[in-house]
């Protein structure tokens, strides 16, 4: 039987100083092992500087093609962004547009490369890729994501295979949206797994944070840990030290301080120990040894 291992990831690294500070704190004093960088976000420069100070923090790129800003100037990707360099806001409309307009793929490929290169040019190693709103699993986009992962020697991707039944048991509100989202991403992940295997890329076995996003609190963690399945589970959240304007804009109902408290919680750390769950990250998943404390 596979051992129980868990990756704790903070998404949207670079979105605001309050989120960046929470990432550093949760990594230094809590269970956070990974962070997903948004290279076009307002505080991305600060996030890159923090990442250089935290060599044990396993860094990934949170590829962004929706609800954010591009890295490339608008004149190079005019069909993807508005004149201010902003991506569309509506994920459903954007998803259909990316599917039915294959002529956009060249511009998308260029922007994905630019986002990865922003981290590499800062002197950092990128260990995994995922997508804002998990758009990296989109059928049109996944081949491009795999392509850039191989080009830049990035060994791992996130699969969004959440056991929505477990999430519903722990957080039963809004069952129909959770059911729909869970099933859609399970199907997308099943298809993606075959492509990742062919490409020789690594991935997590299980995931939580998709259908209960913004509410990954201490109580949720404590109820979830005894239910973890053998293999590698990624649990992602969006912690912050406060609700700055940029954070309220994109996640007005996120319980960011509570999510930070969960990552720092001694009770969570004790629950992990008592259930034999070992912390890991995508660097170790790729076969690289953990860095010493």
pLDDT level of residue 210 (50, 70, 90 thresholds): very high
Residue 290 has pLDDT above 80, yes or no: no
* Phi-psi domain of 133 (left: phi exceeds 0; alpha: psi -120 through 50; beta: other): left
* pLDDT for residue 1: 78
CA 200 vs CA 76, 118, 141, 203, 290: distances in Å? 32, 24, 18, 10, 21
* pLDDT for residue 292: 64
Q: Mean pLDDT across the chain, nearest whole number?
A: 96
Domains of the chain (ranges; CATH) run: 4-285 (3.20.20.370)
- The structure tokens listed for 247 are 């954070």
- The structure tokens listed for 45 are 């420069």
* pLDDT for residue 81: 98
Distance between CA atoms of residues 269 and 254, nearest Å: 23
Question: What would the mean pLDDT of 93-98 be, rounded to a whole number?
Answer: 95
* pLDDT for residue 269: 98
pLDDT level of residue 2 (50, 70, 90 thresholds): confident
Q: At what angle do helices 175-199 and 142-151 cross, to 10 degrees?
A: 40
Q: At what angle do helices 17-29 and 256-264 cross, to 10 degrees?
A: 20
CA 224 vs CA 15, 144, 216, 229, 247: distances in Å? 27, 34, 10, 10, 26
* pLDDT for residue 293: 62
The model's pLDDT over 183-200, given as tens digits with 9 standing for 90+, comes to 999 999 999 999 999 999
pLDDT level of residue 20 (50, 70, 90 thresholds): very high
Residue 291 has pLDDT above 80, yes or no: no
Can you give the chain as a three-state secondary structure string?
Answer: CCCEEEEEEEEEECCCHHHHHHHHHHHHHCCCCEEEECCCCCCHHHHHHHHHHCCCCEEEEEECCCCCECCCCHHHCCCCCCCCCECCCCHHHHHHHHHHCHHHHHHHHHHHHHHHHHHHCCCCCCCEEEEHHHHHHCCCCHHHHHHHHHHCCCCEECCCCECHHHHHHHCCCCHHHHHHHHHHHHHHHHHHHHHHHHHCCEECCEEECCCCCCCCCHHHHHHHHHHCCCEEEEEEECCCCCCCHHHHHHCCCCCHHHHHHHHHCHHHHHHHHHCCCEECCHHHHCCCCCCCC
The model's pLDDT over 224-266, given as tens digits with 9 standing for 90+, comes to 999 999 999 999 999 999 888 899 999 999 999 999 999 999 9
* pLDDT for residue 134: 97
Residue 288 has pLDDT above 90, yes or no: no
The model's pLDDT over 46-80, given as tens digits with 9 standing for 90+, comes to 999 999 999 999 999 999 999 999 999 999 999 99
The model's pLDDT over 104-160, given as tens digits with 9 standing for 90+, comes to 999 999 999 999 999 999 999 999 999 999 999 999 999 999 999 999 999 999 999
Backbone dihedral angles phi then psi of residue 71, each to the nearest 5 degrees: -85, -40
């Amino acid at each position: 039987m596979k051992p129980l291992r868990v990756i704790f990831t903070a998404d949207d690294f670079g979105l605001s100083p309050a989120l960046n500070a929470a990432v550093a704190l949760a990594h230094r004093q809590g269970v956070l092992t990974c962070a997903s960088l948004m290279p076009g976000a307002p505080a991305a420069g600060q996030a890159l500087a923090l990442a250089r100070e935290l060599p044990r923090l396993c860094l990934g790129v949170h590829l962004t093609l929706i609800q954010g800003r591009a890295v490339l100037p608008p004149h190079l990707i005019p069909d993807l962004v508005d004149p201010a360099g902003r991506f569309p806001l509506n994920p459903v409309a954007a998803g259909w547009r990316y599917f039915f307009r294959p002529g956009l793929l060249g511009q998308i490929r260029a922007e994905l490369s630019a986002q990865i290169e922003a981290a590499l040019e800062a002197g950092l190693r990128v260990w995994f890729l995922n997508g804002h709103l998990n758009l990296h699993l989109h059928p049109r986009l996944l081949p491009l994501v795999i392509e850039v992962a191989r080009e830049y020697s990035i060994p791992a991707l996130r699969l969004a295979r959440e056991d929505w039944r477990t999430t519903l048991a722990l957080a039963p509100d809004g069952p129909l949206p959770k059911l729909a989202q869970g099933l859609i991403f399970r199907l997308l992940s099943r298809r993606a797994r075959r492509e990742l295997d062919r490409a020789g890329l690594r991935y997590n076995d299980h995931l939580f944070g998709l259908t209960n996003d913004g509410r990954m609190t201490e109580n949720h963690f404590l109820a979830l840990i005894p239910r973890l399945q053998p293999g590698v589970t990624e649990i992602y959240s969006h912690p912050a030290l406060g609700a700055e304007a940029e954070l309220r804009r994109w996640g007005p109902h996120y319980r960011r301080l509570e999510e930070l408290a969960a990552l720092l919680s001694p009770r969570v750390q004790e629950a992990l120990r008592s259930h034999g769950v070992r912390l890991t990250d995508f660097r170790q998943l790729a076969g690289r040894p953990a860095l010493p404390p």
